[in-house]
């Protein structure tokens, strides 16, 4: 499903009205009707119910006036509170105001303390609030007066249905500066807006419904729209049935390069996650002294000893063996548990230069890259990077705060600059590819913030590439399945009790739902 920012939504509205001849007031009517359907479901019975509709001066307020009219006609007691004078409204909103006012609806102007007292009385006896103050175009913060209204609505503890975007939430970012109305349900139109997905906007959105208001589908599927919300519609086509006559070689051979004293678990988890995701064969290549540890934990994974230096890290003398292993594999992940050491930079560069297969670079492989990201450019094989915000900060020279404030823009920029598929991990993991496409994931939970979770993810992505998925598709599916496996683990263990091994144990059940 596509995701929109406010500019893109305005352009789509403009095209629907001007290029396809759909009057704006028709879109407004449709938006109001779709929202009324949600309101009526929440009210269950209509007669005797009291609904408060808060109306702003823009087209969002016009939607609210349509909602008030239809609810009134269905037998609901409606009190409409205007936060703007009628002569301040848009033309379509004013038309709907005139219609509503002729129905003898209870319409009140909110402009002073006496009006707020009237609103408070309505909230005390009310059953539901419709928030149609601000919508897609809101930026900044509510005025002091509007903030008082938001506080009153939130204090009332009534169900709140927000129209398009909760008032006080920025549609582009999800940021809230000061007060905002906390909705229990939000009905957004055509496609979801970014601010409804990212925190803290997500917390103010409640249950999200996406309503069709008759905008032509060709506009909503435009290839110029690069942002996507990962959902089943994207994932399901990627998981193909397995032919009856297939064999282990049909599902690829994963090579995991990594490991160092004290960090062997990272390789073990990456390798096992690749296997559980469906890879046909997996080889773990580790410093030779670690081989007994790996073999004692992984019965189904092949192992390859690598020459190590005096500290127990992969030595440059292991490079010929690594080159041979690359020649037998179909995809390689490098970095899990490899540790940061000077020779590690040379090992990574060697793999980048000699590999003829897709590469996934994680953990200490990413740390080795920070000294020269230029080696990524012009690669002939696909590369997937899986940094968390700290690793991304080291790769780019930016602060973690800057990374977190601009996740979409930064992921998009560097995916294109480096020519890689970039998986910027975190709450709402972002996947960006070299073509400018962006995918945002909403599966997963805070319990997954645990040691080894990232190792599991890179193993899952690698396992999907081994089975024939394009690296960018594997990254999207891997992140989605990883989050779902974490959610399944949460159901069984609770958030605080999740460890990386629980996520691995849930992989098979998670993917089987899509087979």
CATH of the domain at 62: 3.40.50.10260
Q: Can you state the angle between helices 264-277 and 453-466, rounded to 10 degrees?
A: 40
CB 253 within 8 A of CB 281: yes
Q: What is the average pLDDT across 506-510? A: 98
Residues 258 and 210 in one domain: no
Q: How far apart are CA 266 and CA 258, in angstroms?
A: 8
> DSSP E strands: which ranges in 302-362?
302-306, 331-334, 359-361
Residues 336 and 264 in one domain: yes
**pLDDT of 62 over the 90 cut:** yes
Q: What is the average pLDDT across 96-104? A: 94
Q: How far apart are CA 297 and CA 147, in angstroms?
A: 58
**What token pair was written down for 506?**
């849930």
Residues 95 and 175 in one domain: yes
Q: How far apart are CA 188 and CA 205, in angstroms?
A: 10
User: How many angstroms from the chain centroid is the CA of residue 304?
Assistant: 37
Residues 213 and 261 in one domain: no
What was the pLDDT predicted at 415? 98
CB 197 within 8 A of CB 3: yes
pTM for this model (two decimals)? 0.94
231: in domain? no
| CA contacts within 13 A on the Cβ side of 404 | 10
| pLDDT tens track for 202-215 | 999 999 999 999 99
Q: Taking all residues of the chain, what is their mean pLDDT, rounded to a whole number? A: 97
CB 437 within 8 A of CB 222: no
- Token pair 């899986």 is at which residue? 386
What was the pLDDT predicted at 302? 98
Q: In what order do the strands lie in the sheet with 77-82?
A: 106-109, 77-82, 50-55, 128-132, 160-163, 185-189, 207-211
Give the β-pairing of 430-432 and 421-424. Answer: antiparallel
**pLDDT of 378 over the 90 cut:** no
Q: Which of 222, 257, 287 is the last residue of a domain?
A: 222
236: in domain? no
CATH of the domain at 305: 3.40.1190.20
- Report in angstroms the alpha-carbon separations of 69 from 76, 102, 269: 10, 10, 59
Residues 165 and 294 in one domain: no
Among 463, 445, 20, which Cα is nearest to 275's? 463
**What token pair was written down for 65?**
């006036």
Residues 448 and 505 in one domain: yes
Q: What share of the chain is helix, strand, coil (3-state, %, to 5)?
A: 50, 15, 35
**Rg (the chain; Cα; Å):** 27
| pLDDT tens track for 380-411 | 899 999 999 999 999 999 999 999 999 999 99
Cis? peptide before 489, omega within 30° of 0: no
State the total domains in the chain.
Answer: 2
* DSSP run (H or E) holding 206: none
| pLDDT tens track for 265-295 | 999 999 999 999 999 999 999 999 999 999 9
pLDDT band at 113 (very low <50, low <70, confident <90, very high): confident
232: in domain? no
Residues 414 and 508 in one domain: yes
Residues 458 and 362 in one domain: yes
234: in domain? no
CB 228 within 8 A of CB 191: no
What is the span of the domain harbouring residue 184?
6-222
**pLDDT of 377 over the 90 cut:** no
> DSSP E strands: which ranges in 34-119?
50-55, 77-82, 106-109
Q: What is the average pLDDT across 185-195? A: 98
**pLDDT of 104 over the 80 cut:** no
Range 116-123 contact pairs with CB under 8 angstroms and sequence separation of 24 or more: 116/148, 116/149, 116/152, 119/52, 119/81, 119/149, 119/152, 120/152, 122/50, 122/52, 122/79, 122/81, 123/52, 123/152, 123/153, 123/155, 123/156, 123/158
Residues 130 and 27 in one domain: yes
The per-type count for the chain, helices as H runs and strands as E runs, is 20, 17
pLDDT band at 480 (very low <50, low <70, confident <90, very high): very high
Question: Which string of b and e fits 381-406 if b means at least 16 CB within 10 Å?
Answer: ebbbbbbbbebbbbbbebeeeebeee
285: in domain? yes
CB 1 within 8 A of CB 233: yes
Q: What is the average pLDDT across 141-153? A: 97
Residues 329 and 208 in one domain: no
* Three-class SS of 141-198: CCCHHHHHHHHHHHHHCCCEEEECCCCCECCCCCCECCCCCCCCEEEEECCCEHHHCC
| pLDDT tens track for 413-447 | 999 999 999 999 999 999 999 999 999 999 999 99
CB 385 within 8 A of CB 420: yes
Residues 203 and 294 in one domain: no
What was the pLDDT predicted at 66? 99
What was the pLDDT predicted at 105? 79
* DSSP run (H or E) holding 316: none
Q: Which of 222, 256, 285 is the last residue of a domain?
A: 222
What was the pLDDT predicted at 336? 98
Q: Which of 222, 238, 267 is the last residue of a domain?
A: 222
Give the β-pairing of 421-424 and 383-385. Answer: parallel
227: in domain? no
183: in domain? yes
Residues 35 and 167 in one domain: yes
Q: List beta partners, residue 185.
A: 161, 207
**pLDDT of 170 over the 90 cut:** yes
| CA contacts within 13 A on the Cβ side of 423 | 28
Helix (H, G, I), strand (E, B) or coil at 509: helix
- Token pair 């000077």 is at which residue? 342
**pLDDT of 379 over the 90 cut:** no
Q: What is the average pLDDT across 343-357? A: 95
229: in domain? no
**pLDDT of 176 over the 90 cut:** yes
């Amino acid at each position: 499903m596509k995701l929109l920012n406010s500019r893109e939504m305005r352009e789509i509205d403009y095209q629907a009205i001007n290029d396809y001849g759909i009057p704006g007031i028709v879109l407004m009517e449709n938006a109001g009707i779709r929202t009324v359907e949600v309101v009526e479901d929440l009210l269950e019975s209509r007669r005797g119910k009291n609904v408060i509709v808060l109306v702003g001066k823009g087209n969002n307020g016009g939607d609210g006036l349509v909602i008030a009219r239809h609810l009134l006609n269905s037998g609901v007691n409606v009190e409409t509170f205007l936060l703007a004078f009628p002569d301040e409204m848009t033309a379509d909103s004013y038309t709907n105001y005139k219609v509503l006012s002729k129905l003898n609806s209870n319409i009140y102007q909110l402009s002073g303390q006496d009006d707020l007292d009237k609103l408070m009385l309505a909230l005390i006896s009310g059953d539901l609030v419709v928030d149609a103050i601000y919508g897609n175009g809101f930026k900044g913060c509510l005025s002091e007066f509007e903030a008082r209204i938001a506080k009153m609505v939130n204090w009332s503890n009534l169900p709140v249905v927000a129209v398009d975007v909760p008032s006080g939430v920025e549609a582009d970012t999800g940021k809230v500066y000061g007060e905002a109305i906390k909705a229990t349900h939000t009905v957004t139109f055509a496609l979801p807006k970014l601010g409804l997905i990212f925190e803290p906007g997500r917390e103010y959105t409640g249950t999200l419904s996406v309503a069709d208001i008759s905008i032509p589908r060709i506009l909503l599927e435009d290839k110029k729209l690069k942002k996507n919300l990962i959902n089943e519609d994207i994932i399901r086509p990627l998981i193909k049935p397995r032919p009856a006559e297939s064999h282990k070689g049909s599902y690829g051979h994963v090579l995991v390069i990594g490991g160092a004293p004290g960090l062997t678990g990272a390789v073990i988890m990456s390798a096992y996650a690749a296997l559980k995701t469906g890879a046909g064969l997996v080889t773990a290549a580790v410093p030779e002294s670690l081989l007994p540890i790996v073999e004692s934990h992984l019965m189904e994974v092949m192992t390859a000893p690598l020459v190590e230096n005096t500290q127990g890290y992969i030595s440059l003398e292991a490079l010929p063996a690594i080159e041979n292993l690359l020649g037998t594999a179909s995809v390689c992940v490098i970095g899990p548990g490899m540790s940061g050491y000077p020779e590690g930079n040379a090992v990574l560069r060697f793999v980048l230069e000699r590999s003829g297969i897709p590469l996934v670079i994680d953990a200490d492989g990413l740390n080795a890259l920070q000294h020269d990201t230029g080696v990524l450019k012009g690669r002939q094989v696909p590369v997937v990077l899986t940094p968390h915000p700290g690793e991304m900060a080291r790769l780019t020279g930016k602060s973690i705060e800057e990374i977190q404030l601009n996740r979409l823009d930064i992921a998009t920029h560097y995916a294109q600059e480096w020519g890689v598929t970039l998986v910027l991990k975190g709450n709402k993991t972002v996947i960006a590819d070299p073509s400018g496409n962006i995918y945002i994931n909403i599966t997963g939970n805070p319990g997954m913030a645990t040691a080894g979770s990232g190792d599991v993810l890179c193993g899952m992505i690698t396992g999907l590439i081994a089975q024939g998925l394009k690296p960018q598709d594997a990254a999207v599916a891997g992140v989605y399945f990883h989050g779902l496996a974490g959610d399944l683990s949460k159901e069984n263990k609770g958030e605080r009790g999740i460890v990386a091994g629980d996520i691995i144990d849930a992989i098979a059940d998670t993917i089987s739902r899509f087979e």
